[in-house]
């Protein structure tokens, strides 16, 4: 029996325009942003969402760690048993425009309990077909490993790990 290979797509690219107060999602939809806050180490974004499963999204983009940590405010019928969704990728800070390139790996954090690594198959397939080069793939794995190690070492608490690095985050 052979496993089906994942449908692979190019890395998802997103922009965060602080001056225009917009977020352009990977499909090109321009979303108004309710709140941006820049820190020397990262960018906070909060906006409404028109997604069938969640109505609000909060994210912290932290380029030095290669992560975007998000809280999805789910609708009552789609509530999940985890607290944070962490994307692994390349995040670039500009004067008024930040960009992200998702490198497939994701973490699901259930505060105080667990961390789950997702989409390793997608990263490996992207590397195999040449969408991501080996160095970028390796950096993604190392970023994920660092985040898993740091969060686990702080009682499976994302906020505590970031605070220990001098990157205190707050959420709405």
pLDDT given at position 134: 97
**What is the sign of the dihedral through the CA atoms of 128, 134, 136 and 138?**
positive
- Which of the residues in the chain have pLDDT under 50? 1
Whether the CB-CB separation of 51 and 70 falls below 8 Å is answered with no
Pairwise CA distance, residues 125 & 146, whole Å: 22
pLDDT given at position 126: 96
pLDDT given at position 1: 45
Partnered with residue 24 across adjacent β-strands are: 15, 30
pTM for the whole structure:
0.93
Which tens digit of pLDDT belongs to each residue from 79-128? 888 999 999 999 999 999 999 999 999 999 999 999 999 999 999 999 99
Whether the CB-CB separation of 64 and 47 falls below 8 Å is answered with no
The closest of 106, 101, 86 to 133, measured between CA atoms, is 101
What are the structural domains, with CATH classification, of the chain? 13-164 (2.40.380.10)
């Amino acid at each position: 029996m052979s496993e089906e290979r994942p449908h692979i797509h190019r890395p998802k690219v997103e922009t965060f325009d602080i001056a225009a107060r917009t977020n352009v999602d990977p499909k090109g939809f321009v979303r108004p942003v309710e709140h941006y806050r820049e820190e020397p180490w990262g960018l906070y974004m909060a906006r409404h969402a028109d997604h069938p499963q969640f109505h609000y999204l909060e994210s912290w983009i932290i380029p030095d760690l290669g992560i975007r940590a998000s809280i999805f405010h789910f609708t009552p019928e789609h509530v999940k048993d985890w607290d944070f969704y962490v994307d692994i990728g390349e995040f670039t800070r500009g004067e008024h425009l930040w960009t992200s390139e998702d490198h497939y790996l994701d973490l699901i954090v259930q505060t105080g309990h667990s961390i789950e690594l997702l989409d390793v198959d997608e990263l490996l397939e992207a590397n195999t077909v040449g969408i991501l080069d080996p160095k970028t793939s390796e950096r993604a794995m190392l970023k994920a490993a660092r985040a898993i190690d740091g969060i686990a070492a702080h009682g499976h608490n994302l906020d505590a790990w970031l605070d220990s690095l001098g990157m205190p985050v707050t959420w709405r």
